[in-house]
Structure formats: structure tokens, C-alpha cells
Chains A and B, each alone.
Chain A
Amino acid sequence: MDGLNLSGQLYWVAVTLYALAAVVFLVALFWRREDWLRSATRLVGITLLPHGAAILLRWAAVGHGPYINRYEVFSSDVWVGMAMFLAFQLRFPRLRAIGAAILPLSFLLMGLGALSTAEPEPLAPSLHSYWLVIHVSFAKLAFGSILVAFGVGVAYLLKERAQRSGTENHFYGRLPGLARMDELGYRFTGIGFAFLAIMIISGSIWANDAWGNYWSWDAIETWSLVTWLFYGINLHLRTTYRWNGTRGSWLSVATLAVTVIAFFGVAYVARGAHVEYLVK
């Protein structure tokens, strides 16, 4: 069996395990089974191994990193997002429950990636640049950060609603305090904002190096700016208007929605340099 075939099979193993982890997280959330949260998190950790191996095997077989088509881009975005989630829950084990918000979305992205072509594509000459590595890496880190901020935002909203309705139980009680969760959501949104800035800057420098044009109003390029502006509005609302707590959490949810539209949706409806890599 060659590396590419094995990579494809490991990808499906990862998709299946993510689906299973999503189900376990949701069951744990709705049936308030804290021990199941631990199992689901362990399952995500285990899944990162075949998933990572699939990415590396494909990397070796096609001769370039996961940049070219949806199959590669979505898969590596999810891997980075899941790695960030695991690192996050190691630091904040009481926030494991955010997996219930993150895992279904990750599974959906893996599924969408699987629907696109897995045919290996060679690297276009303009992509031979270390700026590409910086650009793509920070795009993935930005996505991972906002994914975590979204998860924390959802956890905040659930706990806040339970507190308000007087139905808070041991499960919600185990989550950190509302102020702490709010601060974590703000912190990860801020980190995402910084990563997104570096992604846009490195992409702009790369475009100038390759084509002599640092900004060309390409649809995805423009939407990355729209997303950055949205992050900016989010952070200004939090710092100057004190849109913290419930409103801040809803802002985190909306920020993820705008990020998903920019990273994964715009390519389907608009034309431009990135479309070539994200629609296939």
C-alpha cells in the first residue's frame, strides 16, 4: 500500500473517531456525565495520531504541505484546532465540555474535506515561498483560537442560562466561574486577532514578492480583512463598551461564523487567487 492510500484510510479513521468523540461529548453534555467528558477528550487525543499520520504521509507523498485543496486545508485546520483544544483543556481541565461545541463543527469540516478531491496536486511555482508557510500556519492558528473562543462562549451561555433559570447542577458547577470563562473567551479572541493580523501581513508580503502587488482585493483576501475588522469591532465592544458576559459570548459565536464564511464559504461563491486552492 502506498503512502497516499494509507493516508486516505487514516483520514477516514480520524473522521470516524471525531464523529464518535462528538457523540460522546454531546451525550456527556445532555446527560451531565462528567466521566464521559474525560473519555471523549482522550478519544480526541488518540484521534490526533492517525489524523496527524494521515497529514504527514500525504505531505511526504505529494511533496508539499497541506495547502492545496479543501481535502488538505480542512483536514490540517481541524488538526491544529483539535491540538489547540487539547492544549487548552490540559491547562483548563474544567473546560473540557467545550468539546461538545467544537467537535461537531470539526467533524463537519472533515466531512466537507472528504467530499472534495483527494487527488494530489503539485505546488504552483508562485507557492514556492516560506511566506506561504507563515501565512498558512497563522491562518490555522487563528482558526484554532477562535474555535476555542467559540467553545468557551457556548459554555458560558449554557452555564449562565442554567444559573439564571436556577437549574445549575454539579455539571455546570464544575465549569469555571462566568468571569473566568468570559476572560478566556476574550483572551482567545484577542490571540486570534493577532494571528489573523500576522496571516494577512504575511500573505500580503508574499503576494508582493510573487506578483508585485501587496493587495489585490481578491475575494478571500478581502474577507480576511472583513474578518479582521469584525474581530476589531468585537474587541472594541468588549473593551470600550464592556460587552462582556452574555453579549461577549454571542460575539465569540458571531466571530466564528464570520471566520468560517471567510475561510471556507467565500471560495464557493467568489472568484480569485485562493479559490483555486480551496474549491477543488
Chain B
Amino acid sequence: MTTVMTTVRESRRLACPVGRAGLHFRAPRLRSLWARLRSREMALALLAVVLLATAAGTLVPQSALMASIEYDAWKVANPQGSALAEAIGLTHVYQSWWFLSLLGLLFLSLLACTLSRIRQVWKLDRIRHQQGREIPYWVRMPQNHTAVPALNTEAAFAAAAAALADAGYHVRQDATSGHLVAEKGRFGVWGSTVLHVGIMIILLGGVYSGAGKMAGYFELAEGQAFTDRHDAYLQIDEGPLFGERHPEFQVRLERLEAEHWENGQLRGITSYVTLRSPQGDVHPATLGIDRPLSYQGVTIYQANRYGFAALLTLKDAQGKIVTSGYVNFPTPKEPAGPAFNSFAVPMTSLRAEADLHLASAGTLVSAEVWRQEQPEQPWLYLFLRDADGGIVFQGTLGQGETVPAGAYSLSFSSLAHWAGFPLVRDPGIPIIYAGFALCALGAALIYLLVPKRAWVWLVTGGAGQSLLCIGGRADRFQPAFTEEIQELAAQIGEVYGRP
């Protein structure tokens, strides 16, 4: 006897509505611009263009994302293509004015759509929640609800309320008409708004991060100290709003331990450091590749650049020290070869190229050699050149040895471990993470909390028979909701259709 049709009625679509915006401008031009920005066509067109531009950046080599030597090699290999790509800004897409402008426009479009949406969703949510006295006319239409015979009307109502409550609905009874109003997933209506607000916050956080971020890189050998000052970094990148706010603390590398897997690959690095604040407070700390260290508003990371550092000293003819310092040799990828470094000798016009060997010449070298805590026979093969490229010295230099080098003498006194440390101060991170949280929450709200409303009421059928009607609507996935309502109706009819 269970009869009647389905409960199909698509909800009003709210994505990027075209109704009145949250902001209202008096100037006609601004009003027109705002209307354009909040149009669905504009939002979709911007999304598509940003998508294409983003993808284009991965298809054309990007000057800021690769080593200059590789970029130059690509230019030489593709002279015409690279010239064209450079001319239209395709070789630095993500830093280009046009890409940043596109992101700016996308932000404005999101803002316009979201403000408009907030206003509408707020009103809709309030109306829906207060609604209940009257069942929407289209739900009352015979084809839009399911009806079951209800011989015992009171029991049928109670059963419907219980079945809806069991299905997770919040059920209340309208005091005047007596019909039931059931609601579920009410807050799901905010999902899309929360997601879009999250995306906007990420974009804002990205801008703030880009403007206020400081990212630097320094290297330390065991026993060396580094003071956080602009000119002390080997590389430094500061946003325009950073304002040289260096805390000027000191980091001293006390000891470095590198662990390796059996195949020679790096397993981990642990650096034991001492931090000294400008006020003189001293804190011992450790950091590793997976354990960055936060101190005085900055985060210090452990890079996977590491190796042995040779302490070299250059003296003049009178035996006075001209310069002395560690030369860092990155651990080679191929363990059979030496470690290499090329560097300018400070306080002189000399340039050096050096190979560091950890085993005697002619010895078969394995990865084990580079894992020694303290190598026994380290030696250097060294070229020293003057400003004109003329060779000043060429030859070997063992640990503890001194060799003449033109007007100087050069000695290799000791070997220590060294490692690289990126240091970052990024005030945008909390904002970006807040945006991430909102995005995840919004996405969860959209697909986990589907707003659904159902009504249950009694009508008298043609033969004077009481019929319990159940109908409603969902904001999304209406066919599944229709099935749910039919199942509920069948469940109620099964038990309470009987006298």
C-alpha cells in the first residue's frame, strides 16, 4: 500500500551567487567592477587561467628553480625558444607580475563571491532553522513526498520521530500544526564558505610570508660559531617587510654525527650545538634533518650537506698569519672519488681548487672511508692560482704538513666535520596554517555534513484513510536523500501501518 512518488527537489545553488554582494559601492564603476568580480563566469575563467599558467611553469625551465649552469645550458640548446619564453615571462612564471596579478584577481574574485555567499548563507541558515511552521509547498506536492497508511496516527508519528532520530536527525514538533520537522547536517551549509575563506587566508598568508620572510644559509665546522647577522650568511633572502630584525644570537657547533645505511646512503645527521643569546644566556641543543630547532623566533634546519672540513692556514714570508679557516668538502656522491671544493683565499688574490682524499693514493676507496669518525691519513691535492690564472702551487698537502706557495706558506693542521644549516624566520606560517585548517574543515563540512531537512505530516486520503507523509530535501546528493526518505518511509510503514 505504500504509494506515491519521490522526494526530488534540487536545492537552490549557492555557489558564487549573483544576488546582492556583501559590499555595496556607490560609485557605478566600482559597483560594476565588483559585480563582475563576483560573477561565476569570472571565477571559473580565473581558475582556468591560473591552472594553465601554473602548469606552464612546469613545462618551461624556470630560472629561479634550477642551477644557473643548467639554465644557461638550456638557453644555449634552445636559443629561439628560450628567447621567446624569456620575453613573455614564461621562464619565471611564479615570480612574474602577470602571474601574481592573476593570483590577486583570483583573491578579489574569491572575496567578492565569499562575501556575497556569507550574507546569503547566513540568511538561509536562519530562515531554515526558524522554519517549520509551514511545510514548503513543493514538498506538499504529491510527487515530492512519500506517503504510508497510518492506522494508528499517534503511534505512527512517534515512530517517525524515533526513526528520524535514529537516523541522526534533530527532530522537533511544530506546536501549532503538529507536524514534525527534522534537520541534519545544518552546519554543512557553511562548508563551501569556510573552504573559500581558507583559500583566501592561505593567499594572504603567502603574501605576508613573501614580504616578511627571511631565509638564510650558513655552514659550520665543529668548534666554529655563527652569529645571526645579515653579512654572516653564505646566502640570504629577505622580504621587504623583514626590516633586518636579526636576533643576533650565536650558534656554535660542538659535535656532528652522521649515520649511514649499509649501502652508504645517509641515514641521519645529529648536530650538537650551543646557542648563546645576545644577553649571554647559553642553551645546549640538538638538531637533525627531521628535527629542526626553534629559537628566538627563527627555525634552524639541518641540511643534508655535510662532510669533512680541512683547517688551512696561510702565512706570509715573515711567518705572520694572513688567513686561517676551515674549507668545507661536501661528501662525494661517488665514494671512490675525492671530495672537491673551489674557493677564493681570503685576504689574498689567490684562488684554490682542492681535492680531499681520506686514503693513501692507490688505495681502493669505499663508502666506509667517508664514514670514519676521524680519518687517519687525510691529504689534499691542491691548485693555487694567482689573479691571472698562473699556478702558484700544485701538489699534495698532508695533515700536519706545511708547503711553500709562492710568497706564502700553506699548512693543513686538522680535520673536522661540517654541515650546512638553513635558517628561516617566516611570520606568515601561522596564517597559512590557519588557512590550511579552514580548508580541511570546509572540505570535510561539504562532504561529511550534507544539510538535509525532512517533514512528517498527516493527510486524509481519498477513502478517508489517514496517510503519514514524509518528504524533504538535501542541499547535495538529492538522489541518495530520496532513497533515504523512501527507506525511512518503508521502515515506518512496516511497523505502524498496522492497527
Contact = CB atoms under 8 A, between A and B. Distances in A.
A239 B15 contact: yes
A194 B444 contact: yes
Contacts of B51: 226, 229-230, 233
Interface in B193-210: 206, 209
B39 to A, nearest CB: 10
A129 to B, nearest CB: 6
Contacts of B301: 210-212
A161 interface: no
A70 to B, nearest CB: 18
B269 A125 contact: yes
B265 interface: yes
A122 B268 contact: no
B266 A180 contact: no
Interface in A121-146: 121-122, 124-126, 128-129
B55 A125 contact: no
Contacts of A210: 289-290, 292, 301
Contacts of A239: 13, 15
Contact of A217 (B47, B57, B269, B432): B57
Interface in B383-409: none
A6 interface: no
A191 B304 contact: no
B183 interface: no
Given A122-B263, A194-B447, A205-B433, A229 B288 contact: no
B404 to A, nearest CB: 43
Interface string A199-230: 00100110011111111110100110110011
B432 A194 contact: no
Contacts of A245: none
Interface residues of A, number: 51
Contacts of A236: 15-16, 40, 43-44, 47
Interface stretch (A25-33, A50-58, A149-157, A182-190): A182-190
A190 B15 CA distance: 14
A266 interface: yes
B128 interface: no
Interface in B417-441: 422-424, 426, 429, 432-433, 436, 439-440
A205 B424 CA distance: 14
B479 interface: yes
B299 to A, nearest CB: 6
A126 B440 contact: no
A219 B446 contact: no
Nearest to A126: B289
Contacts of A124: 265-266, 304
Given A183-B477, A226-B51, A240-B15, A194 B304 contact: no
A217 B66 CA distance: 11
A179 interface: yes
B436 A201 contact: yes
Nearest to B303: A211
A125 B94 contact: no
A177 interface: yes
B215 interface: yes
A126 B47 contact: no
B227 interface: no
A245 to B, nearest CB: 12
Contacts of B478: 183
B267 interface: yes
A211 B439 contact: no
B414 interface: no
Nearest to B439: A197
A75 B58 CA distance: 26
A34 to B, nearest CB: 22
A74 B276 CA distance: 48
Given A201-B436, A222-B58, A122 B265 contact: yes
A45 interface: no
A194 B48 CA distance: 19
B446 A223 contact: no
A172 interface: no
Interface string B33-76: 00000001001100110110011011000100110000000000
B480 interface: yes
Given A128-B289, A229-B50, 10 more contacts: A122-B261, A187-B477, A194-B446, A201-B439, A204-B436, A209-B290, A210-B290, A217-B65, A226-B58, A236-B47
Interface of B: 13, 15-16, 40, 43-44, 47-48, 50-51, 54-55, 57-58, 62, 65-66, 94, 206, 209, 215, 261, 263, 265-269, 288-290, 292, 299, 301, 304, 422-424, 426, 429, 432-433, 436, 439-440, 443-444, 446-447, 476-480, 483
16 contacts: A122-B261, A122-B265, A128-B289, A180-B479, A183-B477, A187-B447, A205-B433, A210-B292, A211-B422, A212-B215, A217-B57, A217-B65, A226-B51, A229-B51, A239-B13, A239-B15
